[in-house]
Structure 1
């Protein structure tokens, strides 16, 4: 079932910023770098056209938000000497943007819509991205926020923040491919200028199963034969091969648990196996937007601000595993309307 979103009115926004929002809801990693960030505002739902804003103090930001009650609030991932001019670039957060509405293999709701299952899948992606950056790349200072229809991951790692777009693209490619690729096809993590105390793990030396998300998408495709329409969308797979997949669904899931692609190849043949796995890969890869990771001039929604298009709070998330957006991200004015 799709999540019921509705657009916030001017009165809703004013109520939110004056009665519910507090400056302490803005995470410390934002407040501590406030004067170095560019702020952007959307005042009418047409996009963040009001840019090049700087706030010297939390109190100044609070006064602006409570007085103007903007439609959307954004802040830069980059730190500048003069953020009001976007001059004197110093460094930038490494960012991953995960958008639930981009999930294309699902039986829970229509493509382009978002439901609780979609949001849960997006959360699974976010958890896997965080895990890979911590365990494989030894990155530090990783923060997560709920963005309304997905998650933003911001990394404050001293070795990464000064890096250019090329290094950021390499990290994105590694994380994206590592979430899917079997160990024998993996490349080593990108060189990230780590010192001797922080050597990157060689993932080729250990067995890494398919990610939980890959398994969930597999289940969606082969669950009880009810998803024939979905599986027939896989290039090269017709009714005969689809029946073979449905008839061996339990075996296929066991093979995925054991990271055994060769058994799948025996069942489907090399070409169909490649098509099947690539389709699964593409089914969730669009959840992560590479352009956001690479672009150091990007602005993202401010954690604690209101996503007025859907009337949800964008909030910093401490415990991602147990986070429930439909309980924790619903503003008071929406709850009062029920």
Structure 2
């Protein structure tokens, strides 16, 4: 029997510091998130970050927390409920970090008699710290607890025609609500070394502005290339004018070089250049979360206005958009 496991990033169980600390510990100790030797990672995460960051992050989570719980988890459940109505195939939901866990999701499917699982990491673009870590952990759990299960997974869907249409339509609907001088596509950032580690050719990725536009087998696993392709595909679909949109990367951590241009500097720069009406969309996420609701919707909006901007609009993620749900159901039914 076939079944589907939708997997999203995850969230603390509550916005309280103790739950945030537990969540951050699981997240940051992942070797595909902070990819340094275990002892150094332990020293950095448990010795430094977890002694300072949980309280600050808890305050941020409290700003965006809903009565129903974490926005990301609530929206993911709504997505599952809508998609389930469009397909007879049993679907379970899991988070890479926090609850519900991948283990619990696979157990739920196993108890329904499922022995062939389609894994759908809810990330349009491939990255070590997102898609890869989900697939690796799911396989470890399968081998240990469900050895008779078979796995399949969908590849990064950044260039899937149906996905691009649903994303473009959702953006257009929101843009129709107001006048905007500029549309910024802000993607979650990753360290530059992650891009090079994911390069299957071991030589193509230079992160110099040209390699992403030169055809290569490396692009199948190149997050940077896939982000720029997402922007290009949506801009083409919407007929956006050159110079009226751009791409940036947010949420960097530490001192190592991350993908640029940085979103915070880009937004401040646009305001300083005279852009008064700015819309920001976050296509690395399919569900609104801390990075979209607080980092962009609150912090970036405040900074934009501090630097001379006037109207700042955060375009919601796809969340449980009807057309997006139909796209997932189509993948499942096919």
TM-score under structure 2 length normalisation: 0.24
- Which protein is richer in helix relative to its size? 2
TM-score under structure 1 length normalisation: 0.24
